[in-house]
């Protein structure tokens, strides 16, 4: 996933392709959603952030094999908002923020609780990023 610039040719070099994302439409759609969020952050002035780049890379890697893309998207959103310093404190967020993205499938929550967290994360994203 890591694209770097070669000093000799100054062309980006693709380090990882995430081939499994292209074999499943749902995975591809989830990956594109994550990329849209990061792109929108770039438009807001967040650029050249190694932490953000690593978060995205870890999310794309997790998406390749995920059986719960909804949890992964929620986990990514919460970590993204927290990293930007705009996620308000909520005890329900703490386990998600402490765990790595690869642990997204371990969160067993009821649909109603997941929906509440998703709605809250979405509201904060829209407030912070506008439409995306």
Between CA 26 and CA 24 the distance in angstroms is: 6
In the structure, what pLDDT confidence band is assigned to residue 46 with cuts at 50, 70 and 90? Answer: low
User: Which domains are present in the chain?
Assistant: 19-129 (1.20.1440)
Question: Could you tell me the pTM of the whole model?
Answer: 0.86
- Return the number of other C-beta atoms located less than 10 Å from residue 8's C-beta: 6
Give tens-digit pLDDT for 51-64: 888 999 999 999 99
3-state secondary structure (DSSP) of residue 12: strand
């Amino acid at each position: 996933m890591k694209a770097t610039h070669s000093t000799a040719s100054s062309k980006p070099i693709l380090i990882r392709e995430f081939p499994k994302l292209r074999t499943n439409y749902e995975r591809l759609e989830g990956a594109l959603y994550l990329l849209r969020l990061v792109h929108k952050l770039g438009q807001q002035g967040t650029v050249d952030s190694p932490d953000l780049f690593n978060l995205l890379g870890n999310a794309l890697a997790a998406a390749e094999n995920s059986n719960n893309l909804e949890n992964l998207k929620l986990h990514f959103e919460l970590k993204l908002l927290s990293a930007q310093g705009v996620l308000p404190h909520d005890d329900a967020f703490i386990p998600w923020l402490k765990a790595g993205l690869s642990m997204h499938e371990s969160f067993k929550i009821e649909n109603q609780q997941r929906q509440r967290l998703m709605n809250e994360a979405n509201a904060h994203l829209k407030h912070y990023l506008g439409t995306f």
